[in-house]
Structure 1
Amino acid sequence: MSDEQPGTDEGFRVDPHVKVLDEAVVERAKARGLDALVYAPHFTRLPEIRREAERYSDDELSVFPARELFTGSWQHRRHVLAVGLDEPVPDFLTLDATMDELERQGAAVLVPHPEFLTVSLDAGEIERYRDRIDALEVYNPKHWPHHNERARSLAAEYDLPPFGSSYAHLRGTVGEAWTAFEERFETVQDLATALRAGAPRHVFHRSGVDHGLRRALEFAHLGYENSWEKIDRLFLQGTEATHPDHVAYQGRFDDVKVY
Protein backbone atom coordinates (compact mmCIF):
# COMPACT_ATOMS: atom_id res chain seq x y z
CA MET A 1 0.00 0.00 0.00
CA SER A 2 1.01 3.64 -0.34
CA ASP A 3 0.37 6.22 2.36
CA GLU A 4 1.05 9.92 2.02
CA GLN A 5 0.64 10.54 5.76
CA PRO A 6 3.49 8.79 7.62
CA GLY A 7 2.54 7.50 11.03
CA THR A 8 4.53 7.49 14.23
CA ASP A 9 4.98 3.73 14.45
CA GLU A 10 5.79 2.46 10.98
CA GLY A 11 8.22 -0.34 11.76
CA PHE A 12 11.69 -0.65 10.24
CA ARG A 13 12.06 2.18 7.73
CA VAL A 14 14.21 1.43 4.69
CA ASP A 15 15.04 3.68 1.74
CA PRO A 16 15.67 0.79 -0.68
CA HIS A 17 17.54 2.68 -3.42
CA VAL A 18 19.95 5.59 -3.10
CA LYS A 19 22.82 6.58 -5.37
CA VAL A 20 24.67 8.93 -3.03
CA LEU A 21 26.42 8.27 0.26
CA ASP A 22 28.46 10.53 2.52
CA GLU A 23 28.22 12.08 5.98
CA ALA A 24 25.56 14.55 4.85
CA VAL A 25 23.43 11.73 3.45
CA VAL A 26 23.74 9.76 6.69
CA GLU A 27 22.79 12.79 8.78
CA ARG A 28 19.77 13.48 6.58
CA ALA A 29 18.65 9.85 6.69
CA LYS A 30 18.78 9.85 10.49
CA ALA A 31 16.96 13.18 10.67
CA ARG A 32 14.23 11.71 8.47
CA GLY A 33 13.85 8.78 10.85
CA LEU A 34 15.20 6.09 8.56
CA ASP A 35 16.65 2.87 9.93
CA ALA A 36 18.45 1.72 6.77
CA LEU A 37 19.57 2.77 3.31
CA VAL A 38 20.21 0.50 0.34
CA TYR A 39 23.21 1.96 -1.47
CA ALA A 40 23.40 1.07 -5.18
CA PRO A 41 25.54 3.57 -7.11
CA HIS A 42 26.01 3.36 -10.87
CA PHE A 43 29.09 1.72 -12.41
CA THR A 44 30.67 0.74 -9.09
CA ARG A 45 31.81 -2.79 -8.29
CA LEU A 46 30.26 -4.67 -5.41
CA PRO A 47 33.42 -4.82 -3.24
CA GLU A 48 33.72 -1.02 -3.28
CA ILE A 49 30.01 -0.60 -2.53
CA ARG A 50 30.37 -2.98 0.40
CA ARG A 51 33.31 -1.02 1.80
CA GLU A 52 31.44 2.26 1.61
CA ALA A 53 28.29 0.74 3.10
CA GLU A 54 30.25 -0.63 6.05
CA ARG A 55 32.06 2.68 6.50
CA TYR A 56 28.84 4.65 6.92
CA SER A 57 26.86 2.09 8.95
CA ASP A 58 26.50 2.54 12.70
CA ASP A 59 24.12 1.68 15.54
CA GLU A 60 21.57 4.24 14.34
CA LEU A 61 21.59 3.57 10.60
CA SER A 62 22.40 0.47 8.57
CA VAL A 63 23.69 0.92 5.03
CA PHE A 64 23.18 -2.16 2.87
CA PRO A 65 25.12 -2.71 -0.39
CA ALA A 66 23.30 -3.45 -3.64
CA ARG A 67 23.68 -3.06 -7.40
CA GLU A 68 21.36 -1.49 -9.96
CA LEU A 69 22.45 -3.44 -13.01
CA PHE A 70 22.28 -1.97 -16.51
CA THR A 71 21.25 -4.79 -18.87
CA GLY A 72 21.12 -4.84 -22.64
CA SER A 73 22.61 -2.12 -24.84
CA TRP A 74 22.67 1.54 -23.84
CA GLN A 75 19.94 2.33 -26.36
CA HIS A 76 17.76 -0.55 -25.09
CA ARG A 77 18.89 -0.81 -21.49
CA ARG A 78 16.81 -2.26 -18.70
CA HIS A 79 17.59 -1.60 -15.03
CA VAL A 80 17.38 -4.34 -12.41
CA LEU A 81 18.06 -3.75 -8.71
CA ALA A 82 19.82 -6.71 -7.06
CA VAL A 83 19.92 -7.03 -3.26
CA GLY A 84 21.94 -9.75 -1.53
CA LEU A 85 24.53 -10.52 -4.20
CA ASP A 86 27.34 -12.87 -3.21
CA GLU A 87 29.59 -12.06 -6.18
CA PRO A 88 30.05 -9.06 -8.49
CA VAL A 89 27.96 -8.91 -11.66
CA PRO A 90 28.92 -6.57 -14.52
CA ASP A 91 26.64 -4.19 -16.39
CA PHE A 92 25.47 -4.59 -20.00
CA LEU A 93 24.85 -8.29 -20.08
CA THR A 94 21.71 -9.52 -21.79
CA LEU A 95 18.63 -9.31 -19.60
CA ASP A 96 18.27 -13.10 -19.70
CA ALA A 97 21.86 -13.57 -18.56
CA THR A 98 21.50 -11.05 -15.75
CA MET A 99 18.34 -12.72 -14.48
CA ASP A 100 20.01 -16.14 -14.66
CA GLU A 101 23.00 -14.89 -12.66
CA LEU A 102 20.82 -13.30 -9.98
CA GLU A 103 18.84 -16.51 -9.68
CA ARG A 104 22.07 -18.51 -9.38
CA GLN A 105 23.24 -16.28 -6.54
CA GLY A 106 19.87 -16.22 -4.79
CA ALA A 107 19.71 -12.42 -4.82
CA ALA A 108 16.45 -10.54 -4.40
CA VAL A 109 15.36 -9.07 -7.75
CA LEU A 110 13.63 -5.68 -7.66
CA VAL A 111 12.20 -3.71 -10.57
CA PRO A 112 12.96 0.01 -10.16
CA HIS A 113 10.87 2.64 -11.98
CA PRO A 114 8.87 0.22 -14.21
CA GLU A 115 8.02 1.52 -17.70
CA PHE A 116 9.80 4.79 -16.92
CA LEU A 117 11.21 6.48 -20.01
CA THR A 118 13.43 4.01 -21.92
CA VAL A 119 15.40 2.54 -19.02
CA SER A 120 12.97 0.16 -17.35
CA LEU A 121 11.35 -3.22 -17.63
CA ASP A 122 8.05 -2.94 -19.47
CA ALA A 123 4.85 -4.88 -18.85
CA GLY A 124 5.84 -7.68 -21.23
CA GLU A 125 9.20 -8.16 -19.51
CA ILE A 126 7.62 -8.02 -16.07
CA GLU A 127 5.17 -10.72 -17.14
CA ARG A 128 7.98 -12.81 -18.64
CA TYR A 129 10.08 -12.69 -15.46
CA ARG A 130 7.20 -12.61 -13.01
CA ASP A 131 8.40 -15.69 -11.14
CA ARG A 132 11.88 -14.21 -10.68
CA ILE A 133 10.85 -10.72 -9.56
CA ASP A 134 10.53 -10.15 -5.82
CA ALA A 135 9.21 -6.56 -5.71
CA LEU A 136 8.19 -3.72 -8.01
CA GLU A 137 8.71 -0.04 -7.28
CA VAL A 138 5.41 1.84 -6.99
CA TYR A 139 6.77 5.25 -5.95
CA ASN A 140 9.92 7.31 -6.32
CA PRO A 141 10.33 11.10 -6.51
CA LYS A 142 11.68 11.05 -10.09
CA HIS A 143 8.30 9.77 -11.28
CA TRP A 144 5.47 12.01 -12.35
CA PRO A 145 2.07 11.04 -10.90
CA HIS A 146 1.07 8.99 -13.95
CA HIS A 147 4.28 6.95 -13.66
CA ASN A 148 3.43 6.05 -10.05
CA GLU A 149 -0.15 5.21 -11.01
CA ARG A 150 1.08 2.94 -13.80
CA ALA A 151 3.55 1.26 -11.44
CA ARG A 152 0.84 0.57 -8.87
CA SER A 153 -1.38 -0.95 -11.56
CA LEU A 154 1.46 -3.21 -12.73
CA ALA A 155 2.14 -4.39 -9.18
CA ALA A 156 -1.53 -5.22 -8.77
CA GLU A 157 -1.86 -6.87 -12.18
CA TYR A 158 1.09 -9.19 -11.63
CA ASP A 159 0.54 -9.59 -7.88
CA LEU A 160 4.02 -8.33 -7.03
CA PRO A 161 4.96 -6.91 -3.62
CA PRO A 162 5.56 -3.14 -3.76
CA PHE A 163 8.43 -1.00 -2.63
CA GLY A 164 9.06 2.72 -2.64
CA SER A 165 12.36 4.55 -2.54
CA SER A 166 13.86 8.01 -2.84
CA TYR A 167 15.98 6.82 -5.81
CA ALA A 168 18.13 9.70 -4.60
CA HIS A 169 20.80 10.96 -6.97
CA LEU A 170 20.82 14.21 -4.98
CA ARG A 171 21.52 14.33 -1.23
CA GLY A 172 18.40 16.31 -0.41
CA THR A 173 16.09 13.61 -1.77
CA VAL A 174 17.15 10.96 0.74
CA GLY A 175 14.23 10.14 3.01
CA GLU A 176 11.55 11.56 0.69
CA ALA A 177 10.16 8.05 0.21
CA TRP A 178 10.70 4.77 2.03
CA THR A 179 9.38 1.28 2.70
CA ALA A 180 8.49 0.22 6.23
CA PHE A 181 8.75 -3.44 7.22
CA GLU A 182 7.36 -5.12 10.31
CA GLU A 183 10.69 -6.77 11.15
CA ARG A 184 14.20 -5.42 11.65
CA PHE A 185 17.10 -6.41 9.42
CA GLU A 186 20.63 -6.67 10.74
CA THR A 187 22.28 -7.58 7.45
CA VAL A 188 21.68 -7.17 3.73
CA GLN A 189 21.03 -10.91 3.54
CA ASP A 190 18.25 -10.52 6.11
CA LEU A 191 16.67 -7.87 3.89
CA ALA A 192 17.13 -9.96 0.75
CA THR A 193 15.52 -12.96 2.43
CA ALA A 194 12.53 -10.85 3.50
CA LEU A 195 12.15 -9.43 0.00
CA ARG A 196 12.24 -12.88 -1.57
CA ALA A 197 9.63 -14.05 0.94
CA GLY A 198 7.29 -11.13 0.25
CA ALA A 199 7.52 -9.86 3.84
CA PRO A 200 4.74 -7.44 4.85
CA ARG A 201 5.54 -3.79 4.21
CA HIS A 202 4.02 -0.36 3.60
CA VAL A 203 5.20 2.32 1.20
CA PHE A 204 5.33 5.93 2.37
CA HIS A 205 6.35 9.23 0.86
CA ARG A 206 6.36 12.85 1.89
CA SER A 207 4.12 15.46 0.32
CA GLY A 208 3.81 19.23 0.11
CA VAL A 209 5.70 22.00 -1.62
CA ASP A 210 9.16 20.94 -0.49
CA HIS A 211 8.58 17.38 -1.69
CA GLY A 212 7.38 18.72 -5.03
CA LEU A 213 10.57 20.76 -5.38
CA ARG A 214 12.72 17.75 -4.55
CA ARG A 215 10.89 15.75 -7.20
CA ALA A 216 11.42 18.43 -9.83
CA LEU A 217 15.14 18.65 -9.05
CA GLU A 218 15.56 14.90 -9.28
CA PHE A 219 13.72 14.74 -12.61
CA ALA A 220 15.89 17.57 -13.98
CA HIS A 221 18.97 15.59 -13.01
CA LEU A 222 18.07 12.95 -15.59
CA GLY A 223 19.47 14.99 -18.47
CA TYR A 224 23.21 14.47 -18.07
CA GLU A 225 22.85 11.11 -16.38
CA ASN A 226 21.18 9.67 -19.47
CA SER A 227 23.38 11.29 -22.10
CA TRP A 228 25.18 9.09 -24.61
CA GLU A 229 28.27 11.32 -24.34
CA LYS A 230 28.60 10.46 -20.65
CA ILE A 231 28.29 6.72 -21.07
CA ASP A 232 30.58 6.62 -24.11
CA ARG A 233 33.30 8.54 -22.29
CA LEU A 234 33.00 6.82 -18.91
CA PHE A 235 32.09 3.26 -19.78
CA LEU A 236 32.33 1.91 -23.28
CA GLN A 237 36.11 2.16 -23.54
CA GLY A 238 36.26 -1.11 -21.58
CA THR A 239 38.15 0.13 -18.53
CA GLU A 240 35.17 0.98 -16.32
CA ALA A 241 35.03 -1.23 -13.23
CA THR A 242 31.67 -2.78 -14.13
CA HIS A 243 32.38 -3.33 -17.83
CA PRO A 244 32.22 -7.07 -18.66
CA ASP A 245 35.73 -6.86 -20.17
CA HIS A 246 37.25 -5.65 -16.89
CA VAL A 247 39.95 -8.00 -15.65
CA ALA A 248 38.04 -8.60 -12.41
CA TYR A 249 35.47 -10.74 -14.25
CA GLN A 250 38.13 -12.96 -15.87
CA GLY A 251 36.13 -13.32 -19.09
CA ARG A 252 33.32 -15.20 -17.33
CA PHE A 253 30.60 -13.21 -19.06
CA ASP A 254 32.11 -12.93 -22.54
CA ASP A 255 29.39 -15.02 -24.16
CA VAL A 256 26.50 -12.94 -22.75
CA LYS A 257 27.83 -9.38 -22.90
CA VAL A 258 26.46 -6.81 -25.35
CA TYR A 259 29.65 -4.66 -25.43
Structure 2
Amino acid sequence: MVQEGYAVDLHVKVLDEAVVERAKARGLDALVYAPHFTRLPEIRRQAEAFSDDELTVFPAREIFTGTWQQRRHVLGIGLDDPIPDFITFDGAMRELARQDAAVLVPHPGFLNVSLGLDDIEAYAGTIDALEVYNPKQLGHHRDRAQSFTSDTGHKPFASSYAHVRGTVGEAYVTFAEAFDDVTSLSAALKNDAERTLFHRDGISHNFRRAVEWAHLGLENTWGKFDRLMLQGTEPTHPDQVAYDGRFDDVKVY
Protein backbone atom coordinates (compact mmCIF):
# COMPACT_ATOMS: atom_id res chain seq x y z
CA MET A 1 0.00 0.00 0.00
CA VAL A 2 1.35 3.44 -0.96
CA GLN A 3 2.27 5.60 2.00
CA GLU A 4 0.71 8.97 2.78
CA GLY A 5 1.80 11.85 0.56
CA TYR A 6 2.08 12.63 -3.14
CA ALA A 7 3.54 9.44 -4.62
CA VAL A 8 5.78 9.73 -7.68
CA ASP A 9 7.61 7.02 -9.58
CA LEU A 10 10.48 9.27 -10.66
CA HIS A 11 11.69 7.34 -13.71
CA VAL A 12 9.82 5.04 -16.09
CA LYS A 13 10.64 4.07 -19.66
CA VAL A 14 7.25 2.72 -20.71
CA LEU A 15 3.89 4.39 -21.12
CA ASP A 16 0.55 3.11 -22.37
CA GLU A 17 -2.91 2.35 -21.00
CA ALA A 18 -1.66 -0.72 -19.14
CA VAL A 19 1.06 1.35 -17.45
CA VAL A 20 -1.48 3.97 -16.40
CA GLU A 21 -3.79 1.31 -14.97
CA ARG A 22 -0.96 -0.29 -13.05
CA ALA A 23 0.24 3.06 -11.67
CA LYS A 24 -3.25 3.85 -10.41
CA ALA A 25 -3.63 0.38 -8.90
CA ARG A 26 -0.36 0.96 -7.07
CA GLY A 27 -1.75 4.20 -5.64
CA LEU A 28 0.66 6.48 -7.48
CA ASP A 29 -0.18 10.11 -8.16
CA ALA A 30 2.42 10.71 -10.86
CA LEU A 31 5.02 9.17 -13.15
CA VAL A 32 8.12 10.75 -14.66
CA TYR A 33 8.32 9.45 -18.23
CA ALA A 34 11.78 9.48 -19.82
CA PRO A 35 12.10 6.94 -22.65
CA HIS A 36 15.40 6.37 -24.41
CA PHE A 37 16.12 8.04 -27.76
CA THR A 38 12.83 9.94 -27.94
CA ARG A 39 12.69 13.68 -28.61
CA LEU A 40 11.29 15.98 -25.94
CA PRO A 41 8.27 17.19 -27.97
CA GLU A 42 7.12 13.59 -28.46
CA ILE A 43 7.66 12.79 -24.78
CA ARG A 44 5.58 15.84 -23.86
CA ARG A 45 2.83 14.79 -26.27
CA GLN A 46 2.68 11.28 -24.81
CA ALA A 47 2.80 12.57 -21.23
CA GLU A 48 -0.15 14.88 -21.85
CA ALA A 49 -2.13 12.18 -23.66
CA PHE A 50 -1.87 9.74 -20.75
CA SER A 51 -2.43 12.23 -17.92
CA ASP A 52 -5.86 12.57 -16.31
CA ASP A 53 -7.47 13.64 -13.05
CA GLU A 54 -6.11 10.58 -11.21
CA LEU A 55 -2.57 10.37 -12.57
CA THR A 56 -0.14 12.99 -13.88
CA VAL A 57 2.63 12.02 -16.28
CA PHE A 58 5.58 14.42 -16.23
CA PRO A 59 7.90 14.54 -19.27
CA ALA A 60 11.66 14.19 -18.81
CA ARG A 61 14.78 13.12 -20.69
CA GLU A 62 17.43 10.61 -19.69
CA ILE A 63 20.28 11.97 -21.76
CA PHE A 64 22.72 9.44 -23.19
CA THR A 65 26.09 11.23 -23.03
CA GLY A 66 29.34 10.07 -24.56
CA THR A 67 29.94 7.10 -26.85
CA TRP A 68 28.49 3.59 -26.62
CA GLN A 69 31.75 2.48 -24.99
CA GLN A 70 31.95 5.38 -22.49
CA ARG A 71 28.39 6.40 -21.79
CA ARG A 72 26.98 8.20 -18.79
CA HIS A 73 23.27 8.83 -18.25
CA VAL A 74 21.74 11.90 -16.62
CA LEU A 75 18.04 12.57 -16.05
CA GLY A 76 16.77 16.10 -16.77
CA ILE A 77 13.36 17.17 -15.40
CA GLY A 78 11.85 20.54 -16.25
CA LEU A 79 13.58 21.12 -19.58
CA ASP A 80 12.67 24.13 -21.69
CA ASP A 81 14.52 23.05 -24.83
CA PRO A 82 15.46 19.68 -26.33
CA ILE A 83 18.87 18.19 -25.60
CA PRO A 84 20.20 15.44 -27.87
CA ASP A 85 22.00 12.22 -27.00
CA PHE A 86 25.55 11.43 -28.12
CA ILE A 87 27.06 14.65 -26.82
CA THR A 88 29.85 15.01 -24.29
CA PHE A 89 29.02 14.71 -20.62
CA ASP A 90 30.37 18.21 -19.99
CA GLY A 91 28.28 19.58 -22.84
CA ALA A 92 25.12 17.99 -21.48
CA MET A 93 25.74 19.26 -17.96
CA ARG A 94 26.35 22.81 -19.19
CA GLU A 95 23.09 22.74 -21.13
CA LEU A 96 21.13 21.36 -18.19
CA ALA A 97 22.54 24.11 -15.99
CA ARG A 98 21.68 26.73 -18.62
CA GLN A 99 18.08 25.57 -18.61
CA ASP A 100 17.99 25.39 -14.80
CA ALA A 101 16.49 21.90 -15.01
CA ALA A 102 16.49 19.48 -12.12
CA VAL A 103 19.36 17.05 -12.68
CA LEU A 104 19.05 13.55 -11.24
CA VAL A 105 21.66 10.81 -11.40
CA PRO A 106 20.07 7.46 -12.25
CA HIS A 107 21.81 4.27 -11.04
CA PRO A 108 25.13 5.90 -9.97
CA GLY A 109 28.11 3.55 -10.11
CA PHE A 110 26.10 0.95 -12.05
CA LEU A 111 27.97 -1.04 -14.73
CA ASN A 112 29.34 1.25 -17.46
CA VAL A 113 26.33 3.54 -17.94
CA SER A 114 26.60 5.68 -14.85
CA LEU A 115 28.24 8.60 -13.18
CA GLY A 116 30.99 7.83 -10.71
CA LEU A 117 31.87 9.78 -7.59
CA ASP A 118 34.38 11.99 -9.44
CA ASP A 119 31.71 13.00 -11.99
CA ILE A 120 29.20 13.78 -9.24
CA GLU A 121 31.69 15.84 -7.25
CA ALA A 122 32.75 17.77 -10.36
CA TYR A 123 29.15 18.88 -10.96
CA ALA A 124 27.93 18.92 -7.36
CA GLY A 125 26.29 22.31 -7.83
CA THR A 126 24.33 21.18 -10.90
CA ILE A 127 23.21 17.76 -9.66
CA ASP A 128 20.16 17.67 -7.40
CA ALA A 129 19.68 14.03 -6.37
CA LEU A 130 21.19 10.55 -6.63
CA GLU A 131 19.22 7.36 -7.12
CA VAL A 132 19.82 4.92 -4.28
CA TYR A 133 17.23 2.29 -5.22
CA ASN A 134 15.75 0.83 -8.36
CA PRO A 135 14.86 -2.82 -9.00
CA LYS A 136 17.82 -3.39 -11.34
CA GLN A 137 20.38 -2.46 -8.70
CA LEU A 138 22.02 -5.24 -6.73
CA GLY A 139 22.99 -4.84 -3.09
CA HIS A 140 26.51 -3.57 -3.80
CA HIS A 141 25.14 -1.05 -6.32
CA ARG A 142 22.76 0.31 -3.68
CA ASP A 143 25.50 0.43 -1.05
CA ARG A 144 27.73 2.36 -3.45
CA ALA A 145 24.96 4.81 -4.29
CA GLN A 146 24.22 5.35 -0.60
CA SER A 147 27.90 6.02 0.06
CA PHE A 148 27.90 8.60 -2.72
CA THR A 149 25.03 10.49 -1.08
CA SER A 150 26.91 10.40 2.22
CA ASP A 151 30.09 11.67 0.59
CA THR A 152 28.46 14.48 -1.40
CA GLY A 153 25.41 15.43 0.67
CA HIS A 154 23.00 15.08 -2.25
CA LYS A 155 19.38 14.11 -1.63
CA PRO A 156 18.49 10.51 -2.51
CA PHE A 157 15.63 9.26 -4.66
CA ALA A 158 14.15 5.93 -5.71
CA SER A 159 12.31 4.87 -8.86
CA SER A 160 11.11 1.76 -10.61
CA TYR A 161 13.32 2.57 -13.63
CA ALA A 162 10.69 0.44 -15.34
CA HIS A 163 11.54 -0.85 -18.80
CA VAL A 164 8.77 -3.43 -18.41
CA ARG A 165 5.15 -2.49 -17.61
CA GLY A 166 4.85 -4.67 -14.54
CA THR A 167 7.71 -2.93 -12.74
CA VAL A 168 5.95 0.45 -12.59
CA GLY A 169 5.35 1.43 -8.98
CA GLU A 170 7.81 -1.07 -7.50
CA ALA A 171 9.81 1.88 -6.10
CA TYR A 172 8.72 5.47 -5.65
CA VAL A 173 9.04 8.67 -3.62
CA THR A 174 6.39 10.55 -1.66
CA PHE A 175 6.37 14.31 -1.16
CA ALA A 176 4.28 16.34 1.27
CA GLU A 177 2.89 18.50 -1.53
CA ALA A 178 1.29 17.80 -4.90
CA PHE A 179 2.72 19.24 -8.12
CA ASP A 180 0.56 20.91 -10.73
CA ASP A 181 3.14 20.71 -13.49
CA VAL A 182 6.67 19.58 -14.29
CA THR A 183 8.05 23.02 -13.41
CA SER A 184 6.85 22.72 -9.81
CA LEU A 185 8.25 19.17 -9.55
CA SER A 186 11.57 20.35 -10.92
CA ALA A 187 11.66 23.24 -8.44
CA ALA A 188 10.95 20.90 -5.53
CA LEU A 189 13.80 18.61 -6.57
CA LYS A 190 16.16 21.54 -7.01
CA ASN A 191 15.19 22.89 -3.59
CA ASP A 192 15.81 19.54 -1.87
CA ALA A 193 12.17 19.11 -0.89
CA GLU A 194 11.72 16.54 1.83
CA ARG A 195 10.76 13.16 0.50
CA THR A 196 10.33 9.60 1.71
CA LEU A 197 11.60 6.66 -0.33
CA PHE A 198 9.73 3.37 -0.63
CA HIS A 199 10.14 0.11 -2.48
CA ARG A 200 8.30 -3.15 -2.46
CA ASP A 201 9.93 -6.40 -1.40
CA GLY A 202 9.16 -10.09 -1.17
CA ILE A 203 8.77 -12.78 -3.82
CA SER A 204 6.75 -10.64 -6.24
CA HIS A 205 9.27 -7.81 -6.12
CA ASN A 206 12.17 -10.20 -6.65
CA PHE A 207 10.37 -11.60 -9.68
CA ARG A 208 9.97 -8.10 -11.11
CA ARG A 209 13.67 -7.48 -10.51
CA ALA A 210 14.55 -10.68 -12.39
CA VAL A 211 12.36 -9.66 -15.32
CA GLU A 212 14.11 -6.28 -15.48
CA TRP A 213 17.51 -7.98 -15.49
CA ALA A 214 16.39 -10.23 -18.33
CA HIS A 215 15.28 -7.16 -20.24
CA LEU A 216 18.66 -5.52 -19.59
CA GLY A 217 20.38 -8.51 -21.16
CA LEU A 218 18.16 -8.32 -24.24
CA GLU A 219 18.62 -4.57 -24.51
CA ASN A 220 22.42 -4.89 -24.45
CA THR A 221 22.61 -7.70 -27.01
CA TRP A 222 19.94 -7.74 -29.70
CA GLY A 223 18.69 -4.26 -28.84
CA LYS A 224 22.13 -2.74 -29.26
CA PHE A 225 22.76 -4.63 -32.52
CA ASP A 226 19.40 -3.43 -33.84
CA ARG A 227 20.19 0.20 -33.02
CA LEU A 228 23.75 0.15 -34.31
CA MET A 229 23.32 -1.99 -37.42
CA LEU A 230 19.69 -2.04 -38.56
CA GLN A 231 18.16 1.32 -37.70
CA GLY A 232 18.91 4.74 -39.13
CA THR A 233 20.11 7.79 -37.22
CA GLU A 234 18.42 8.12 -33.84
CA PRO A 235 15.79 10.88 -33.54
CA THR A 236 17.86 12.32 -30.69
CA HIS A 237 21.17 12.39 -32.58
CA PRO A 238 22.65 15.94 -32.59
CA ASP A 239 22.83 15.89 -36.42
CA GLN A 240 19.03 15.77 -36.64
CA VAL A 241 17.61 18.96 -38.13
CA ALA A 242 15.51 19.61 -35.03
CA TYR A 243 18.66 20.61 -33.11
CA ASP A 244 19.69 23.14 -35.77
CA GLY A 245 23.39 22.43 -35.33
CA ARG A 246 23.42 23.86 -31.79
CA PHE A 247 25.37 20.91 -30.43
CA ASP A 248 27.89 20.40 -33.22
CA ASP A 249 30.74 21.48 -30.95
CA VAL A 250 30.00 18.80 -28.33
CA LYS A 251 28.72 15.85 -30.35
CA VAL A 252 30.75 12.63 -30.10
CA TYR A 253 29.57 11.02 -33.39
Q: Shorter-normalised TM-score: what interval? A: over 0.9
Counterpart contact for 2:3–2:174, Cα < 8 Å: no
1:204 pairs with 2:179? no
CA–CA separation in structure 1 for the residues paired with 2:2 and 2:78: 29
Per the alignment, residue 215 of structure 1 pairs with 209
Residues 143 and 219 of structure 1 are in contact (CA less than 8 Å); yes or no, is this contact kept in structure 2? no
Structure 1 stretch displaced more, 196-205 or 145-154 = 145-154
Partner of 1:44: 38
1:143 is aligned to 137
Q: Distance in 2 between matches of 1:123 and 1:179?
A: 23
Q: Name the structure 1 match of 2:82.
A: 88
Secondary structure of 1:27's partner?
A: helix
Q: Which amino acid aligns with 2:175?
A: F
- In the aligned structure 2, how far is the partner of 1:34 from the partner of 1:60? 9
Give the 3 Å change call, closer, same or farther, for CA 8–254 of structure 1 in structure 2.
closer
Indicate the residue corresponding to 1:231 in structure 2.
227
User: Amino acid of the residue matched to residue 63 of structure 1?
Assistant: V
2:190 corresponds to which letter in structure 1? R
TM-superposed deviation, 1:233: 3.0
Deviation at 1:230, TM superposition (A): 3.2
Counterpart in the other structure of 1:102: 96
- 5+ residue gaps, structure 1: 1-5
Paired letter, 2:160: S
Which residue of 157, 163, 171 maps to 1:163? 157
The one of 13, 16, 25 aligned to 2:10: 16
Following superposition, the deviation at residue 8 of structure 1 comes to: 4.0
Distance 1:8 1:252, change over 3 A: closer
Q: Deviations over 1:165-223 (max 9, x none)?
A: 00000000000000111111010011000000000001100010000010011012112
How many Å apart are 1:48 and its aligned residue?
Answer: 0.2
**Cα distance between partner residues in 1 of 2:146 and 2:45:** 34
Number of residues of Structure 1 aligned to a counterpart in Structure 2: 251
Note the C-alpha offset of 1:231. 3.2
TM-score (norm 1): 0.94
Of 182, 186, 204, the match for 1:192: 186
Structure 1 segments of 4+ aligned residues over 3 angstroms from their partners: none
Matched, 1:25 2:19: yes
Where 1:221 maps in the other structure, the secondary structure is helix
Could you report, residue by residue, the CA deviation over 1:129-182 in whole angstroms, capped at 9, with x for unpaired residues?
A: 111100000000011111111111111111000110000000000000001111
Change (3 A) 1:160 1:46: same
Contact 1:234–1:240, Cα closer than 8 Å, also in 2: no
Normalised by the length of structure 2, the TM-score is: 0.96
Contact 1:20 1:168 survives alignment (8 Å): yes
Identity, % of aligned positions: 65
Alpha-carbon distance in 2 for matches of 1:250, 1:219: 37
- Secondary structure in 1 aligned to 2:49? helix
| CA separation of 1:45 and 1:213: change in aligned 2, threshold 3 A | same
Q: Which amino acid aligns with 1:118?
A: N
More divergent stretch after superposition (14-23 vs 218-227)? 218-227
3-state secondary structure, aligned to 1:157: helix
Two-structure CA RMSD over aligned residues (Å): 1.2
SS in 2 for 1:33: coil
Partner of 1:216: helix, strand, or coil? helix
Work out the CA distance in 1 between the residues paired with 2:197 and 2:229.
Answer: 37
**124-133 or 113-122, which deviates more:** 124-133
User: Displacement of 1:234 after TM fit?
Assistant: 6.0
